[in-house]
Chains A and B, each alone.
Chain A
Amino acid sequence: MAELLEIRNLRIEATIWPPGEAARDVPIVDDISFTLARGKVIGLIGESGAGKSTIGLAALGYGRGGVRITGGEVRLDGQDILSLGRGGLRSVRGARVAYVAQSAAAAFNPAHRIGDQVIEAAIRHGILDRAAARRRAAHLFEVLGLPDPERFGARYPHQVSGGQLQRAMTAMALLPGPELVVFDEPTTALDVTTQIDVLAAIKAAIAETGTAAIYVTHDLAVVAQVADDIMVLRQGRMVEHGPAEKIITDPEAAYTRRLVTVRTAEGAEAEDQSDRLLDIDGVTARYGELTVLSDVTMHLPRGQTLAVVGESGSGKSTLARVVTGLLPPAGGRVFYRGRPLPPALRHRTRDDLRAIQMISQMADTAMNPRHTVAQIIGRPLRFYFGLRSRRRRDRVAELLHQIELDPSLAHRYPAELSGGQKQRVAIARALAAEPEIILCDEPTSALDPLVADGILKLLLRLQAETGTSYLFITHDIAIVRAIADSVAVLHRGRVVRFGPKREVLAPPFDDYTDLLLESVPELRTGWLESVLRTRRMGSAGH
C-alpha cells in the first residue's frame, strides 16, 4: 500500500553565530525517516530541542525562524514537496497539509473574525465557495463541541476562551479537507481540565474526517491517547520508533524508559503540621474592580511545603503577590510568625523582605540579562548582609556548589545557561538571602520533565538541609503528590479544599477537586475513553 507521507533521511540545519567565532551551520534534525499511512496518527515526542516541531513543520516544507531543510525527502503521496518551489509549496500548505499551533491565542489574527480565518484557506485555494465553507465550518465547530456552532465564527479571537480557540484552530486546519494535519503541542498551553475536552474533540474530529496526523508533544501520557505509532526523539535524532502500546509498556531505549518513569522526586509528608510560620487569614485581593481572591485562608507550617494548586485564573499567582507585598490585599491579613506583615512592600522592614524570597516561572525574565551569575547571586548577599569582594565571592561559590552548579559558571551571563541552569541560579539567588520562606511560582512548568524532576529534587534536598519553608504554586497534581506536606486547592479565587496532603488528595472529593484529579492524563492507552465514559455515566446518573 502506498504511504501518504514518507520522510526519508531528513536533515535540517540552522546557522548559529557563536560569540567570537565564525558563523556555522549546525544540524537541528538529522537522519530522520518514517512513513505514515492515510488516516493514521504518529506521535513525535521528546524534550525541547529534540526537533519534534521542526520535523512537523518540515511536512509543510517550512523552516521556522531561518532553519533550512538541507537534505532528504518529504514525499506526499509519492511526490517530493521539497522540490516544488514556492508556488508549489503554497498549493500544498493549508490545502493538503495543515498545521495546528501550540498557542491558538497567538496563532489567530486578532483583527479578523474567527469564522473568516477558519474558511480563508479553503476559499483561497478554491476548494470550497464561501457558502459551502461556512456550512462546513459550522459542522466542524459542532463536531469539536464549540458552543452555538452557527454563530461561533462571527466572534473575534479575544471574545472566546483559550480552549475554544484551540478547537477553532483544529477546525481551521480540517476545513479544506487536508490529507495530513500537523498538531504541534495543541493542548500544552491549556489547563488540565480543558486539555481533556480538547484532546477528545481533536480525536473525534480526526476520526470523523479520516485525515492522517502528526501529533507533536512532550507529554507521553497525552500522545498515548491519540497516536497509533510513536517516535521518540532526542537532540534531533531518533531514539525509538514503534507502535504506541509497545513504546509505553515495553520501551527498549534507556532514554525512553527514563521518559516513561520520569518522576522520581519524592518527599515524605510531615506528620506534625502545627508549627505555623505563615498565616494567610481571610485575604481578598482585587485588580481594579476585578476580585481575584476572596476570603482565602491557609497556613504554612515551618520547614514544610504548602502546595497551592489551581488552573489559570484561579488566583494562585495573585496570592504570591499578596504574600510578597507586591499587591496589598483589599481585605484580610498575612501573619508571619504570628505577627501581621505590613500589607505593602514599602512598609516592610529589610528583615521581612529577606525572610520571604521568590522563584518565578520564567527564570529568563526574572534575571537581568546584563548581569553575570556572580552579580545576580551576589546582589542579595550585599543588600542583606553587606558582603563584599572576597567574602562575597566565596559565598557565591558556596551557593553554586549547593545548587549543584560548577563554580566556573559564575562569570557566565543568563543567556549562556540552559533553562534548568537558569532556574538553579534563581534558586541560589533566593537562598542567598537565607530566607525562612521561598515562594515558588510554577518554577518547573517551563522546563522539560527530566530537568524539572532535577529541580524538584534539589528543592527537596535544600529543604532538608536548611529547613526553608516553601509556598509552592503549581497547576500540576503530580508535583503536588511528589513534594507537598499540605495542599490548598484554589478555584476562581476561593479555597475549595485545604489541609494535609493525605486528606486533600483522598476521597471523598468535592466536585472540582474530583474533576481536577481525574483530568490528569495517565500513561496508558485508552485512558481518555475510560474517563469520558465514567463522566457520561456520572452525568447520566445525576
Chain B
Amino acid sequence: MAEPRKGRASGIGGIVTARISGGPVRSLRARYPLLVLLGQRIALSAGLLLAVSLMIFLGVEALPGDFAQTYLGQSATPQAVANIRAELGLDQPAVSRYLDWLGGVLRGDFGQSWASRLSVSDQIAGRLGNTLFLAFCAAIVAVPLAVGLGMLSVLYRDRFADRFINVLSLGAISLPEFFVGYLLILVFGIQLGWVSFPSTVYAGMPFGARLQAVALPVATLVLVVLAHMMRMTRAAILNVMSQAYIETAELKGLSAMRIIAHHAAPNALAPIINVVALNLAYLVVGVVVVEVVFVYPGMGQYMVDAVSVRDMPVVQACGLIFASVYIVLNMVADILGILANPRLRHPR
C-alpha cells in the first residue's frame, strides 16, 4: 500500500519542479499575454499552411490519369511516355518531388507549366494581380456598404427600412452568381449599353477603362457577398444592444446613431471582422464562376484551364495560393479580433 503512494508523491514533486523550470515561459505569458497569443496564432497559420501544401500535393498525386499519357495521346510509345516523365521529373519518388516543390515555393518559384513550358510564377503574377484587383474593388464597395446597411437596419429595427434592406439582400444572396452575372450583362451591357462586355483586361490598360471593365463583375460579387456580411453585422450589433451599457448610453441622452456606432459596434467587432474576412476570402477564391461568366483573365479561369489539361504545377500553385489567401485572411481576422478586445490589449 505504501509503495504506490510514495511513487505518486514523487510524481507530484516532478510536476512541481517541471513547473518551476518552466518559469521564464510562464512569466513571458503573464507579462505579454497579447504577444504570446498573437505568436501562437501566427504559428498556427504557418503550420496550417504547411499541412495544406502537403494535402494539395497528395491530392494532385492521387488524381487518376497521367499528364504524359494525356499529352502524347493514345498512340504514344512507352518509350516516349517514359522520356516525358523523366523530363518532368515524374520518375523521382514522391517525397523528393514534394520537397523540391516546397523548396521552390519558399523561394517564390512554382516550377514550370507542363503544358506551355513557361514559368508558373510569371504567368500567375499578372493573373493574380487581376483577381486581386477585382476582389479589392468588390471589397471596397461591399464592406462599408454591408456594415453601414447593417447599422441602419439596427437603427430602424423591425420597421420598414429594416425589412426592406433584409428582403433585398436576401433576394441577392438567393440568386446564383452566374444568373446575376448574366442578368447584369443583359440589362447593363446589352440593353442599356452602359458598360462593355466581355470584361477582358490587359496589361497597360488605362485605369479608367479597367474600372469600367470590372464594373459588372464587381457588381455581381457585391450582390453575392453583401447579404451575409450585412446580416451578420445586424445580428452582432443587435446582440450587443441588449447589454446594460447600451441602456446606460440611452439614459445619458445620446442619439440613437451615436449609441449604435460608438457604444454597440466596437463591442460587436470580433464577429463582424470574422464574417468580413470570410467574405473577402470568398471574393478572391470563389470568383471562378464570375471570372468565367465575364471572360475575365484572373486566377479562376487559369486554374479551370489547367485542370482540363492536367497541368499539375499550375493546379498546385493555384490551390496553394487560394489556400494561403484563406488562411492569411482568417489569421488577420483573428488577430484583429484579439486586438479589438480591450481585456487583452490592456491587461490588468
Contacts and interface: CB of A to CB of B under 8 A. Distances in A.
B251 A62 contact: yes
B305 interface: no
Interface in B251-307: 251-255, 258, 262-263, 266-267
B253 A91 contact: yes
A101 B254 CA distance: 17
A122 to B, nearest CB: 9
A540 B73 CA distance: 103
A124 B253 contact: yes
A90 B256 CA distance: 10
Interface stretch (B37-45, B166-174, B242-250): B242-250
B224 to A, nearest CB: 31
Interface string A287-329: 0010000000000000000000000000000000000000000
B267 A93 contact: no
B8 interface: no
B346 A159 contact: yes
Given A156-B342, A158-B342, A159-B346, A109 B253 contact: no
Contact of A125 (B243, B250, B253): B253
Interface in A519-538: none
Chain B interface size band reads: 20 to 34
B57 to A, nearest CB: 40
Nearest to A90: B253
A95 B253 contact: yes
Contact of A93 (B243, B253, B262, B263): B253
B26 interface: yes
Contacts of B107: none
Chain A interface size band reads: 20 to 34
A109 to B, nearest CB: 4
B40 to A, nearest CB: 17
A91 B267 CA distance: 26
A158 B343 contact: yes
Contacts of B251: 57, 60, 62, 93-94, 98-99
A110 interface: yes
Nearest to B251: A99
A2 interface: no
Contacts of B159: none
A461 interface: no
B348 interface: yes
Nearest to B267: A111
Interface in A94-108: 94-95, 98-99, 101, 103, 106-108
Nearest to A158: B343
B247 A107 contact: yes
Contacts of A158: 342-343, 346, 348
A112 B266 contact: yes
Contacts of A155: 346
A394 B287 CA distance: 67
Contacts of A108: 245, 248
A156 B252 contact: no
Given A110-B342, A159-B346, A101 B252 contact: no
A289 B26 contact: yes
B245, B251, B346: most-surrounded residue (chain A CB, <10 A): B251
Contacts of B348: 158-159
B244 A107 contact: yes
A111 B266 contact: yes
Given A106-B245, A107-B245, A289-B26, 20 more contacts: A62-B250, A62-B251, A89-B253, A92-B253, A93-B250, A93-B253, A94-B253, A99-B248, A101-B247, A107-B247, A108-B245, A109-B249, A111-B266, A111-B342, A112-B266, A121-B253, A121-B254, A125-B253, A156-B346, A158-B346
Top 5 closest A-B pairs, CB basis?
A94-B252, A93-B253, A106-B244, A94-B253, A111-B266
9 contacts: A62-B251, A90-B255, A93-B250, A99-B248, A109-B245, A109-B248, A121-B254, A155-B346, A158-B343
